[in-house]
């Protein structure tokens, strides 16, 4: 799980949009969901684009999937787009809110074209949905 900028402020940042769930709560939700599914989940958060790019690059040959909420970088980062395109890993884009129901500048995602799936608008529960979806996709690919 790659968490982008300002997500470390969850729980206090704009609770009317993002709710009162903290990043630690989301990481616990992912761990519990991962345990249910029999998969390990590692979480990473950075406010720095280069750190996120490096974490994505490290995923090659190390992880089966990346869940990513690139936050504000969703709409601006060609570097994150390119890093995802360069690794052969299932990527699921996650957003707490529905980005299409927000300000117009948030409607365009540079991540979506290189993601296998997108979960948005389900609040913190979207992270568990994304993990379940990623595991389902990976298992289906292995059975082909």
Active site residues: 18, 95
Q: Are the C-beta atoms of 2 and 63 separated by less than 8 Å?
A: no
Q: Are the C-beta atoms of 46 and 6 separated by less than 8 Å?
A: no
Q: Give the angle 129-95-125 at the CA atoms, nearest 5°.
A: 35
Q: Give the C-alpha separation, 130 to 104, whole Å.
A: 24
């Amino acid at each position: 799980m790659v968490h982008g900028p300002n997500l470390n402020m969850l729980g206090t940042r704009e609770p009317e949009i993002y709710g009162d769930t903290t990043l630690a709560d989301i990481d616990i939700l992912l761990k519990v969901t991962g345990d249910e599914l029999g998969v390990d989940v590692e979480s990473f958060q950075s406010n720095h684009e280069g750190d996120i790019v490096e974490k994505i690059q490290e995923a090659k040959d190390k992880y089966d999937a990346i869940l990513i909420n690139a936050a504000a970088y969703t709409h601006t980062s060609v570097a994150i787009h390119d890093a995802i395109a360069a690794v052969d890993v299932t990527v699921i884009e996650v957003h707490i809110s529905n980005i299409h129901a927000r300000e117009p500048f948030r409607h365009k995602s540079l991540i979506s074209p290189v993601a296998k799936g997108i979960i948005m608008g389900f609040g913190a529960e979207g992270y568990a949905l994304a993990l379940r979806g990623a595991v389902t996709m990976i298992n289906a690919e292995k059975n082909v």
